[in-house]
Amino acid sequence: MNKKPNKWLSLITIPFQMGFTIFIAHYLGTYLDEKYQKTYYQEVCTLIGVILAIYYVVKQVIFLNKNDK
């Protein structure tokens, strides 16, 4: 019997994964802003977090579509 991962369970976890990635990047940027007294780390880290979150979502959806066939 071929066990496939539950596609819906994987899709339900995507918002939490995106939120966690963006939150950690934002928190890191805030920490760096306070430590180095600059004002751009927060924006840069948050932008990188958003890009990483989107990349992981696209990668996960491609993987689910590949296994669906």
- In tens digits, what is the pLDDT along the chain, a chain of 69 residues? 566 667 788 889 999 999 999 999 999 999 999 999 988 999 999 999 999 999 999 999 898 888 776
pLDDT for the residue numbered 69: 62
pLDDT of residue 5: 62
pTM for this entry: 0.83
Calpha distance 45→61 (Å, rounded) = 24
